[in-house]
Amino acid sequence: MLIDICFNGNNASLTARDVMTSAKVEKELEKIEYQKAYSQYRFIKDKKVEDAVLPPIVFAFYAYILLKERIPKPFELVNWYYRINDFRYTEDTVNWNGKVYSRDGINGRVLRSYPSLVRDYHFFLLLTESGLFDNVTYSFQEDRNGKDILIVQNGIEYQVSLFVATRRSLAFKEIKNTCRHTYENEIQVPLLLGDAQQCGDFYLYSQKDIDFIKTKTCIL
10 assigned to some structural domain:
no
Residue 178: the pLDDT is: 47
How do strand 186-191 and strand 197-199 relate by DSSP bridges? unpaired
Mean pLDDT of 9-28: 88
* Number of residues assigned to the chain: 220
Q: What percent of the chain has pLDDT over 90?
A: 72
Q: What percent of the chain has pLDDT over 70?
A: 90
Residue 147: the pLDDT is: 86
pTM of the model: 0.89
8 assigned to some structural domain:
no
Whether the per-residue pLDDT at 171 is higher than 60: the answer is: no
3 assigned to some structural domain:
no
Residue 159: the pLDDT is: 95
Q: How confident is the model at residue 153 (pLDDT cuts 50, 70, 90)?
A: very high
Residues 30-51 have pLDDT tens digits of: 999 999 999 999 999 999 999 9
Whether the per-residue pLDDT at 172 is higher than 60: the answer is: no
Domain count within the chain:
1
Whether the per-residue pLDDT at 101 is higher than 60: the answer is: yes
Residue 16: the pLDDT is: 78
Residue 181: the pLDDT is: 53
34 assigned to some structural domain:
yes
Domain, as residue range, for 57: 20-216
